[in-house]
Amino acid sequence: MDKKLEGYIFVVTHKDYPMPIEKIYMPITVGKNKQKLTFNKFYTDDALENRSIAKKNDSYCELTALYAMWQDSNFSKLDYMGLVHYRRYFTEGKVRKKNKFEHILSEKRVLKLFKQYDVILPKIRHYFIETNYSHYAHAHNVKDLDTTRSVIEELHPEYLADFDQVMKKTSGHRFNLMIMKKEKLDAYCQWLFSILFEVENRIDCEGYDPYQTRVFGFLSERLLDVWIQYQQVSYYEQNYSFMEKENWVLKGKNFLMRKIKRKSLVKYD
């Protein structure tokens, strides 16, 4: 009889919020106000004082949680680990507005998927009229993405062709949502943070507004697909749901306005 895989899916939060009841979900608190949260009895991104990047949450976003759970030896023997957000989860079945929490991905489903795949990712997001590069250029400071390319060329040149290919695609896996078998997560984090820490040494975020300060969270969303493609990792795209109401009209309007206003920044269209 096969051994049952054991793991946690960490739920990143910066405030008190309803949490899944299944035992595989563990809240992990991040940000400046985490000492005020009731979830502190579970886990925080600064649990590792000497190796944590928790103080950089403003720029690394949910990656401070990813870094903490990856580095913590308490979790080294797990078979898999995952990361979701307090308002965004992998879901299964037909999700209705009034009962979204009832459809959060179950342990049973996770274990079934891991019999065939090594990684679970959110359904791919299509931009159609944008490449990954142009979308970043229209929404963020594209020089940071260009710096990332330079770092990859120096530290991991074998990934450069895949980086360029991914940048020219019109779709990608977003939100830094993932569930991975532990050895895959270890390899991904080793690669990811080696790049981001070097990018951090080379860019100047002085003058960035609070949104653009989240630069490393934005960059990592694009880097995940680069790693997946180069490694040829077997993955499954699972549905995901935002647990609150979204204004799709406003999102669409902002998407088009960014494209119009920042057209001159684009190189990879």
**pTM of this prediction?**
0.91
pLDDT digit string (tens) for 119-164? 999 999 999 999 999 999 999 999 999 999 999 999 999 999 999 9
Q: What is the pLDDT of residue 78?
A: 98
* Distances from the Cα of 96 to the Cα of 110, 113, 115, angstroms: 21, 23, 28
Beta strands in 1-92 (DSSP E): 7-13, 25-29, 80-85, 88-90
Which stretches of the chain drop beneath a pLDDT of 50? Answer: 247-253, 255-256, 258-259, 263-269
Note the pLDDT tens digit of each residue in 179-193.
999 999 999 999 999
CA distance 68 to 44: 8
Distance in angstroms (rounded) separating the CA atoms of residues 85 and 231 = 26
pLDDT of residue 129: 92
List, in order of start, the domains of the chain with CATH numbers. Answer: 7-265 (3.90.550)
